[in-house]
Amino acid sequence: AEVFHQLSQALAVLIDGAARAAYDKVRKAKKQAAERTRKLDEKRKKVKLDLEAREREAQAHESEEEEIGLTRSLEQEIIRLREEGSRQLEEQQRLIREQIREQIRLEREQHIQGTQERNGAGGKVTPKLKLKWKCGKEDETRGGYSKDVLLRILQKYGDVLNLVISSRKTGSAIVEFATVKAAEMAVKNEVGLTNNPLKISWLEGQPCNHPSTVPPNSTTRPRTSQASVVSERDYESLVMMRMRQAAERQQLIEQLRREEEEESHT
């Protein structure tokens, strides 16, 4: 019955022109309202999407600025650490150079002190003579001059403190007498073996107030002892060794510095 009633009302509206026009107007108004609502929803949705896009853009910009700030801070920290490392490296190099200079100075003082002690408190030097004779490189007899033969020849003038026969230069030796008088007598009188004469010359400790004791054919040498020459060579070798060690230490420091820079870049 209710459905029949609704159908009767619908038929009345369709038959009546005014009622139909009013009905169409109401439907049109509802449709327009729905369209307005739809457009408003789309506009709201668009505004919402725009707001979300702007928020994302702002967040991305903030993240980018934050990343740039962190990068700058990291670069500044790297520069600071590098400068600090350079200062530490320079300070370490300065300390190493000072240590080397101080060590060389101490060794030089010890060398000078040792030389002075060997020469005596008053600067007294024991007399030393250089002996030369003819001797071939392959001569096993050393030209007839063995150590025992030389000692027998020289000890008749006085006590012999040391006698060194050169192993590198054949036919050469150095003798150290206990007294200047014994050395003077050896220079003046000794000729050695008849078939192979000795040439004797002063090496160190020659008295300045007795020039007549030196024969015309004798050669005067500077007052430089063999021990002093050896000591000077040892000292030079020591200095060169210290310089090489300093150079190797510098190379090691530079290598460590390069490795630290490579690690900081990675």
Q: Is residue 190 part of a domain?
A: yes
> Could you give the C-alpha distances from 69 to 56, 63, 64, 66, in angstroms and in order?
20, 10, 8, 5
Q: Is residue 226 part of a domain?
A: no
129 CB neighbour count, 10 Å cutoff: 26
Of the three residues 181, 204, 227, the one that is the final residue of a domain is 204
β-bridge pairing 128-132 and 172-177:
antiparallel
Highest mean pLDDT out of 11-15, 134-138, 234-238, 254-258:
134-138
- Domain span including residue 141: 128-204
What share of the chain in percent tops pLDDT 70?
72
| Residues 106 and 167 grouped into a single domain | no
| Residues 8 and 89 grouped into a single domain | yes
Look at residue 60 in the predicted model and tell me its pLDDT: 85
Look at residue 150 in the predicted model and tell me its pLDDT: 93
pLDDT digit string (tens) for 34-73? 888 888 888 888 888 888 888 888 888 888 888 888 888 8
Distance of alpha carbon 130 from alpha carbon 80, whole angstroms: 67
Q: What is the total count of domains within the chain?
A: 2
What residues contact residue 139 under an 8 Å CB cut-off, 6+ apart? 170
Of the three residues 63, 81, 114, the one that is the final residue of a domain is 114
Work out whether the CA dihedral 103, 108, 114, 120 comes out positive or negative: negative
Q: Is residue 222 part of a domain?
A: no
Look at residue 204 in the predicted model and tell me its pLDDT: 87
Of the three residues 90, 114, 138, the one that is the final residue of a domain is 114
193: domain CATH number?
Answer: 3.30.70.330
Distance of alpha carbon 86 from alpha carbon 254, whole angstroms: 11
Q: Is residue 232 part of a domain?
A: no
Record the pTM. 0.35
What residues contact residue 182 under an 8 Å CB cut-off, 6+ apart? 127, 157, 158, 159
